[in-house]
Amino acid sequence: MRYYIIAGEASGDLHGSNLIKEIRKTDAAASIRCWGGDRMQQAGGDLVKHYRKLAFMGFWEVAKNLGTILKNLQFCKDDITKYKPDALILIDYPGFNLRIAEWAKQQGYKIIYYISPQVWAWKENRVHKMKQCIDKMLVILPFEKEYYKNKWNWEVDYVGHPLIEVVEEAQLAPDSKPLAKKPIVALLPGSRKQEILKKLPIMLEVSRMFPACQFIVAKAPGQEDSFYESVLAMYPNVSSVRDATYSLLLQSRAALVTSGTATLETALFGVPEVVCYKGSNISYQIAKRLIKVKYISLVNLIMDKPVVKELIQNELTPGNLRKELDALLTNEATQQQLREDYSNLRQLLGQGGHASARAAAIIAEFLQKK
């Protein structure tokens, strides 16, 4: 079979690479052309474009780069037309991928979407078009299957969450060298400069209140060392690591984490965490009106209850963070409750089985029927 896979971000590259490995187990002669990153290329995909050239986030950045985005869309359509794949597999990245799906459906291609856009949170009206142009939808959050069935009368497949297998692999890896002699608190302040500058200074202030701990910042791949050096210089018990977030989480007693996939990764590693969110007031007010969910962290959304503390906008202060971090480090009842909730979370996310293998099996079955 000939597969054309499109992922537009680092997480899509990770999950896409594991999907490619599983596809090759069932279809050793598979020809795979992809948009993604180094991991997908290493897994055997013929890389057309790297996600670093695709990731435009935020209204202003998208508007500023609209010409590039439109050129990428046209290039992608031309490339698909030349390649003539048996299946088009789209991984998350909805702004780009849903436009490709709509076009590809008109051309008669078979379209599989792996990792649903988060339409249950916002832009719900996208589902009308998704139903028309997606032949097979594979979801990774347990409540999504019910959401699509009950609200949209759409049968989708829940495959489990691919992060389970990624975290399990990291936990089985040989122990890395100790990052500190003192108890470690991980700081995961996000990937974009703007969000790091909003949240990291508040996290760093808290480090002064826990001199017995070593605070370690996980640097984002896209940010220079010099950027962090200037921010961290004034804090004696704060250091940083690059390309070692999982090693850091394996050794951490607690973590302060920006909302996003990192909240789920931290929970799957079993690390007690506080979820931190702070944006510009205008962006926050707009988001509050557009986004229709009870929680901002995936952990709480999946469990449908406040498993981890969320400090949002004006609640994110050094004083509030100190109180929550102290409870995570010293309160045995808090720690025990978290252990139970994290165990239930892992069980819930593993119900679909090994996500990448399950997805590959469903794709193979779907293509054989057609």
pLDDT score for 280: 62
Give the number of other CB atoms < 10 A from CB of residue 192: 17
pLDDT score for 87: 96
Torsion of CA 25, 27, 28, 32, to 10 degrees: -100
The structure's pTM equals 0.87
Helix residue spans in the chain (DSSP H): 10-26, 38-42, 59-64, 66-83, 94-107, 126-133, 142-152, 163-172, 193-207, 225-232, 245-251, 261-268, 281-290, 298-303, 318-330, 332-349, 355-369
* DSSP line for 144-185: HHHHHHHHH----EE---THHHHHHHHHHSPPPPPS-SSPEE
Cα-Cα-Cα-Cα dihedral sign, residues 288, 293, 294, 298: negative
pLDDT score for 195: 83
Q: Consecutive 10-residue runs of the chain (370 residues): their mean pLDDT? A: 93 94 93 95 94 62 66 92 96 92 96 93 88 96 94 95 93 85 96 86 96 96 88 94 94 93 95 89 59 81 95 93 97 97 94 89 89
Spatial CB neighbours of 72, under 8 Å, sequence gap ≥ 6: 49, 53, 54, 96
pLDDT score for 285: 59
Distances (CA, A) of 30 to 1, 23, 156, 357: 5, 8, 25, 15
Confirm if 254 and 271 have CB atoms less than 8 A apart. Answer: yes
Domain annotation for the chain: domains and CATH numbers: 2-160+352-368 (3.40.50.2000), 168-350 (3.40.50.2000)
pLDDT score for 279: 72
pLDDT score for 177: 87
pLDDT score for 241: 96
